[in-house]
Amino acid sequence: MIAPVSTRRATADDVGAIAQTLARAFHDDPVAAWSCPPERLRPQLLERFYATRTRQVLGDDEVLVEAAHGGAALWLPPKRWRTTAREDLQLMRPLVHPRLLSRVPLVVRGLTGVEKIHPHEPHWYLAILGTDPAAQGRGIGSALLQPVLDRCDEDGIGAYLESSKEANIAFYARHGFRVTAEHDLPRGPRIWLMWRDPR
């Protein structure tokens, strides 16, 4: 029998562990590989990226973490999904590496394109959801989704995400999300835009 999953709101003390978990979770992700093709560099750069993004989202008080750091979800509330120019610069710093500098314009163009097609109606935005590969299959992802999805239902508001793996579409569909569009990154992989109406 699988033990119940315990989740809580993250604090600044969790940032390092969350970044390590997310770096492992997204190591083989198509968008991560597109952003940072050298596999040897990817763990360190992803860890820096996720540490930065987690710190940015912590102020909105909806970074959820599994008690043993087996997974984390970074949610942004309505009207707070858009990143500022300063936040974008912070997020691009991990790519400031001699072997990746030539990719920066491509990645910036790709991320800007994704932001342009982001829905504007009020919604909660699941910016990142990841489970450590060693902890997958225990219900951690579902447990990290549910508190905010319950809030969406109570408040009558939608939820939105971009899935970077086609294999994850079925998982999100079980939680009420549906694919609304597909988008190809420049010279890169496809992502699936998914929306959930409140229940």
Secondary structure (DSSP) of the chain: -PPPPPEEE--GGGHHHHHHHHHHHTTT-HHHHHH---TTTHHHHHHHHHHHHHHHHHTTT-EEEETTSSEEEEEE-TT--SPPHHHHHHHHGGG-STTTGGGHHHHHHHHHHHHHTS--SSEEEEEEEEE-GGGTTSSHHHHHHHHHHHHHHHHT-EEEEEES-GGGHHHHHHTT-EEEEEEEPTTS-EEEEEEE---
Decide if pLDDT at 96 tops 80: no
- Average confidence (pLDDT) over 131-142: 95
pLDDT of residue 59: 82
More confidently predicted of 88 and 73: 73
Residue 149: inside a domain: yes
- Average confidence (pLDDT) over 137-147: 96
Residue 2: inside a domain: no
Residue 188: inside a domain: yes
User: Based on the structure, what is the number of domains in the chain?
Assistant: 1
Residue 16: inside a domain: yes
Per-residue pLDDT reduced to its tens digit, 151-189: 999 999 999 999 999 999 999 999 999 999 999 999 999
CA proximity to 22, closest of 94, 85, 88: 94
Per-residue pLDDT reduced to its tens digit, 109-126: 888 889 899 999 999 999
Residue 36: inside a domain: yes
pLDDT of residue 77: 94
Residue 185: inside a domain: yes
Decide if pLDDT at 1 tops 70: no
pLDDT of residue 182: 96
pLDDT of residue 99: 75
Residue 1: inside a domain: no
Domain of residue 75 covers 7-196
Q: What is the CATH number of the domain that holds 15?
A: 3.40.630.30
- Average confidence (pLDDT) over 57-86: 89
